[in-house]
Amino acid sequence: RHGTTTLFAALEIATGQVTAACKPRHRHQEFLAFLKQVAKAYPDQQLHLVMDNYAAHKRIEIRDWLAANPRVHVHFTPTSRSWLNLVEVWFGIIERQAIHRGTFGSVAELNAKIRAFITGWNDRKHPFVWTKTADDILKKANRQTTSNTGH
């Protein structure tokens, strides 16, 4: 009713640290700005980014930037496998703990709530660990593949 925000987030699974940005839109321009923010936050490291197949992630401007920044590697999750991306689990956490059923008088209030949650999260961060075994994960993937074939 009062507007929306787009939350871009990168989760460092080894520590639980979240790098994030709230943007008014979800276009390739905003995504590219976020990629640059993440790269700046980790200037001396190889970065492996796992992301969905959203069209903005595959624009020529993004591909050109990635080609010019070879230390940044992108891995796309298969369609309908967003649960393989641990930042999606984190999005569920922020939704349940900070946003769901919230009343926000403006987008600025919503963004402030999101930023406060992220600050608190990063103050208490801990490694983000799979709770399922590899066998359990593969079984789920196989079940979803079978159910998506119409059989």
What residue ranges do the domains of the chain occupy?
6-148
39, pLDDT greater than 80 = yes
CA distances, 70 to each of 14, 39, 47, 91, 96 (Å): 22, 11, 9, 27, 36
149, pLDDT greater than 60 = no
Q: Of all residues in the chain, what percent carry a pLDDT higher than 90? A: 58
Distance (Å, whole) CA 53 – CA 58: 8
148, pLDDT greater than 60 = no
Give the CATH number of domain 6-148. 3.30.420.10
